Amino acid sequence: MKRPSRTSIVHWFFVLFAVTLVARAAKVQVVEGKQWSARATRQHFFASSLAAPRGEILDASGNTLVESREMTRVAVALPEVRDTAFVIKALHRARVDADALHSAIARRRRWIDLPGVYSTADVASISKLNGIHLTPVLQRVYANSTGIKRIIGSVDGQGNPLDGLELALDTLLRGDSGKVRLARDRDGRALDSPDGWTDHPKQGATVVLTINHALQDICERELAIAVDSLRADGGDVVVMNPHTGEILAMASNRVGRSAFANTAVTEPFEPGSTLKPFVAASLLERGRARPTDVVNTHNGQLELDGRVINDMHKATALSLADVIRYSSNVGIVEFGQRLTPRQKYETFRDLGFGMPLGVPLPAESGGTLRDPRQWSKQSSASILMGYEIAVTPLQLVTAYAAIANGGELLEPHLVKEVRSANGKTIYRAEPRVVRRVMSFDVARTVQQMLLAVVQEGTATKADLATFDVAGKSGTARRTSQNIGYTAGNYTASFVGLFPGNDPQYVVLVKLDSPKGGHYAGGDIAAPVTQIVLRAALAARDAALNREDLAASEKQATTQSPKGDASITNKLALRTANEGPRTNPESYDPNGNISRRDVADAPKPYVVDLPAAPRPAPIAVTPRPVPDVRGLSVREAVRALHNAGFRVRLLTAASSGTSPAAGTIAAPGTIVQLVRPLE
């Protein structure tokens, strides 16, 4: 056999090498192709989650109360850092708080999340340094108002809701997160790739509240001034539209406590005399009394079941209307004996006391209303005077709204509308009647009684010169923990209906434990109500229908002299022991409230306008947002203005309006006009 030549051996060696190479290539490409391809894809591409921006929360006029913005969180991987001193200097230059880095280096930690969040521009200079890792985070930007924050709540650093509406409406607000497939460059940095894909995040829904920001500001400011001036422990102000159940403002204040809870729905209190109108309504509704019926009020002192009930305004006899007007405890107890305990209980239960109202706020309290089987001997009289029952400010306002709207108990609501990310309305609150709690006639009769309280009774300091105000004051003793009722510790409250003859607002002002000589609701809570109402009248947009308001103005000819002296004079006709009001001075928050005298009565205004009157009245009913597609920006703005809307211009990838064309919105609503990027 011929031995192969050396050339042949080399030749066959190369052939074998080539075959092996081809075989290996075939194995890699064909047999293991999918596996290697997947590995390469894992190396070159990665999926990153895209956080969905939480939905905005707007006030009733469309003003933003809270929105999300993207910020950056900075972390340092110490093993990746080549020059620690240089990195620390760079962090200082970028105004990043690097103090935590020093302690991390000392403790030899490998990874440190630096505190705080920074704008992308601030940290752009350090983004390419080795060992610096930037993570985008969504931060909530809140309106700088304590009351609004109490309602809205907050989220933690990871975007998880903690309290308030953020927690209650989280499923609506949080949206759906998305994903993006990015390529890596040679340094491992992310790159958009044509081979990538994006599953866009869906922004959370926009929630429109019934809160009117201007009115909320007014309430918070006046409440803060009152709490400070009166050295009270705190207070609450709630304003509601009695015809829709919309909560227009809800302010709370607690001194020395960084409370974030909305105490207007979480802290019940004994309402005192503010419950008397409901007893009167129950008596009238059941035909057990008429407004003119008179009872013996025992000269303002009655001994019953082992205790003495006193009146501030002492009289020998009072009619039911006067019992409400002068807030007679003896009178209401005498009248209340015409009702059985079960009837008293049902009266308050039907008004919604003793159970949560269902507003979307966490920790809402239902208050306390005990079953008559649990009552003591004194409970039957106590509950008539607003003791042994606890209600939240919101419950009390909701019950008064029933008097204001003709007898229907409405479900209070805080959310007016919910819009999806594309502007489509997915929920709109409608007034919902829970039940009729009194007839229309009884409601009107009680309303007249409440008008008398402000005109000639215990709350004259709530009255306005040009509008009637109806309402009822309350002064209730407060308990201290484990002690019971303590001297000089009171809750002063006033619930007002404005205007008194055709209410647009139900306003509750409550002040906890005011210090000093003034503690009666009519003396300190009623003036705060007056200030709130005057500021609301002067505000540009405080959820008042001014056309209806103009019709409710007092006529100068119907004005009558009022004041504390008139109360005493009237009482003097009926009483043997004349008892003037013990507290003639009142809280004067702005130093410009003076008692009205006869000469100060308002005069009719005659205004000559040089301009021609408008050719047509502007309709105030909600109307659809016009379709402005295809119009220039100028034409679109004009069309929206002509339709009665306010316009905010935005620039984005796609054009349109928010709310979308065709959406029914109230005049004055801010419509976001999105014009396309050029």
Partner 1 sequence: MAKSGVALRGRSLVGLILAAFVLIATAIVWRRTIGINQSEQLAALDAKRVNLESERARLDAEIRDASSRQNLGTAVERRLRMHVPTDKQVVILPRVRPDEAP
Tokens of 13: 């060696």
Cα 116 from Cα 545, distance rounded (Å): 45
* CB-neighbour burial class of residue 526 (10 A; exposed 0-12, middle 13-18, buried 19+): buried
Indicate which single residue of 558, 592, 642, 654 sits in contact with partner 1 (rule: CB under 8 A): 592
Tokens of 378: 């004194």
Residue 619 is a binding residue for partner 1 (CB under 8 A):
no
Indicate which single residue of 129, 173, 214, 320 sits in contact with partner 1 (rule: CB under 8 A): 214
Cα 580 from Cα 185, distance rounded (Å): 88
Residue 483 is a binding residue for partner 1 (CB under 8 A):
no
**Contact pattern from residue 447 through residue 476 relative to partner 1, giving x for each residue in contact according to CB under 8 A and a dash for the rest:** -----------------xxxx---------
Using the minimum distance from each CB to partner 1, give the nearer residue, 67 or 113: 67
Indicate which single residue of 44, 113, 159, 193 sits in contact with partner 1 (rule: CB under 8 A): 193
**Contact pattern from residue 112 through residue 131 relative to partner 1, giving x for each residue in contact according to CB under 8 A and a dash for the rest:** -------xxx--x-------
Residue 562 is a binding residue for partner 1 (CB under 8 A):
no
Sequence letter at residue 322: D
As measured in angstroms, the least distance from the Cβ of 206 to partner 1 is 14
Residue 194 is a binding residue for partner 1 (CB under 8 A):
yes
- Helix H, strand E, coil C: the string for 419-482 is ECCCCCEEEECCCCEEEECCCHHHHHHHHHHHHHHHHHCCCHHHCCCCECCEEEEEEEEEEECC
Cα 634 from Cα 245, distance rounded (Å): 38
What are the residues whose beta carbons fall under 8 Å from the beta carbon of 604, sequence distance 6 or more? Answer: 555, 556
As measured in angstroms, the least distance from the Cβ of 408 to partner 1 is 28
Indicate which single residue of 142, 335, 353, 519 sits in contact with partner 1 (rule: CB under 8 A): 142
As measured in angstroms, the least distance from the Cβ of 147 to partner 1 is 10
Residue 141 is a binding residue for partner 1 (CB under 8 A):
yes
* CB-neighbour burial class of residue 627 (10 A; exposed 0-12, middle 13-18, buried 19+): middle
Instruction: Please report, in angstroms and rounded to a whole number, the separation of the first and last CA atoms in the chain.
Output: 85
Q: How far is CA 355 from CA 146, 201, 320, 365, in A?
A: 27, 40, 29, 7
Q: Which stretch binds partner 1 (CB under 8 A): 74-82, 301-309, 438-446, 608-616?
A: 608-616
Q: Where are the alpha helices (DSSP H) in 206-316?
A: 213-229, 263-266, 276-285
277 touches 449 (CB < 8 A):
yes
489 touches 270 (CB < 8 A):
no
- Helix H, strand E, coil C: the string for 39-93 is HHHHHHEEEEEECCCCCCEECCCCCEEEEEEEEEEEEEEHHHCCCHHHHHHHHHH
Residue 137 is a binding residue for partner 1 (CB under 8 A):
no
Tokens 């309709």 correspond to what residue?
Answer: 619
As measured in angstroms, the least distance from the Cβ of 63 to partner 1 is 7
What are the residues whose beta carbons fall under 8 Å from the beta carbon of 128, sequence distance 6 or more? Answer: none
Category of 378 on φ-ψ map: left (φ > 0), alpha (ψ -120 to 50) or beta: alpha
Classify 107 as helix, strand or coil. Answer: coil
Q: Which stretch binds partner 1 (CB under 8 A): 237-245, 266-274, 321-329, 599-607?
A: 599-607
Cα 228 from Cα 665, distance rounded (Å): 39
Indicate which single residue of 45, 46, 50, 67 sits in contact with partner 1 (rule: CB under 8 A): 67
Residue 556 is a binding residue for partner 1 (CB under 8 A):
no
Using the minimum distance from each CB to partner 1, give the nearer residue, 4 or 157: 157
CA atoms within 13 A on the CB side of 623: 14
- Count of residues binding partner 1 (CB under 8 A)? 58
Q: Which of residues 170-189 bind partner 1 (CB under 8 A)?
A: 183, 185
534 touches 464 (CB < 8 A):
yes
Q: Which stretch binds partner 1 (CB under 8 A): 13-21, 107-115, 544-552, 661-669?
A: 544-552
Q: Which of residues 224-283 bind partner 1 (CB under 8 A)?
A: none
Indicate which single residue of 8, 310, 590, 632 sits in contact with partner 1 (rule: CB under 8 A): 590
Q: Which stretch binds partner 1 (CB under 8 A): 73-81, 401-409, 528-536, 561-569?
A: 528-536
Residue 604 is a binding residue for partner 1 (CB under 8 A):
no
Indicate which single residue of 218, 230, 294, 453 sits in contact with partner 1 (rule: CB under 8 A): 218
Residue 135 is a binding residue for partner 1 (CB under 8 A):
no
Please count the other Cβ atoms lying within 10 Å of the Cβ belonging to residue 113: 14
Sequence letter at residue 540: R
Sequence letter at residue 266: T
As measured in angstroms, the least distance from the Cβ of 503 to partner 1 is 16
Indicate which single residue of 143, 165, 359, 446 sits in contact with partner 1 (rule: CB under 8 A): 143
Cα 117 from Cα 136, distance rounded (Å): 9
Using the minimum distance from each CB to partner 1, give the nearer residue, 67 or 199: 67
Residue 547 is a binding residue for partner 1 (CB under 8 A):
yes
Tokens of 470: 């109806």
Using the minimum distance from each CB to partner 1, give the nearer residue, 188 or 613: 613
As measured in angstroms, the least distance from the Cβ of 521 to partner 1 is 21
Residue 217 is a binding residue for partner 1 (CB under 8 A):
yes
Residue 69 is a binding residue for partner 1 (CB under 8 A):
yes
Using the minimum distance from each CB to partner 1, give the nearer residue, 194 or 484: 194
Using the minimum distance from each CB to partner 1, give the nearer residue, 308 or 538: 538
**Contact pattern from residue 358 through residue 397 relative to partner 1, giving x for each residue in contact according to CB under 8 A and a dash for the rest:** ----------------------------------------
Indicate which single residue of 107, 585, 605, 642 sits in contact with partner 1 (rule: CB under 8 A): 605
Cα 379 from Cα 333, distance rounded (Å): 11
As measured in angstroms, the least distance from the Cβ of 165 to partner 1 is 18
What are φ and ψ of residue 7, in 5° steps?
-65, -40
Please count the other Cβ atoms lying within 10 Å of the Cβ belonging to residue 372: 15
Indicate which single residue of 54, 534, 562, 581 sits in contact with partner 1 (rule: CB under 8 A): 534
114 touches 126 (CB < 8 A):
no
Q: What is the DSSP letter of 7?
A: H
Using the minimum distance from each CB to partner 1, give the nearer residue, 236 or 350: 236
Residue 159 is a binding residue for partner 1 (CB under 8 A):
no
Residue 617 is a binding residue for partner 1 (CB under 8 A):
yes
What are the residues whose beta carbons fall under 8 Å from the beta carbon of 160, sequence distance 6 or more? Answer: none
Residue 63 is a binding residue for partner 1 (CB under 8 A):
yes
Which positions lie near partner 1, rule CB under 8 A?
Answer: 63-64, 67-71, 119-121, 124, 136, 141-145, 183, 185, 190-194, 214, 217-218, 220-221, 464-467, 531, 533-535, 537-538, 546-547, 549-551, 553, 590, 592, 602, 605, 607, 609, 612-618
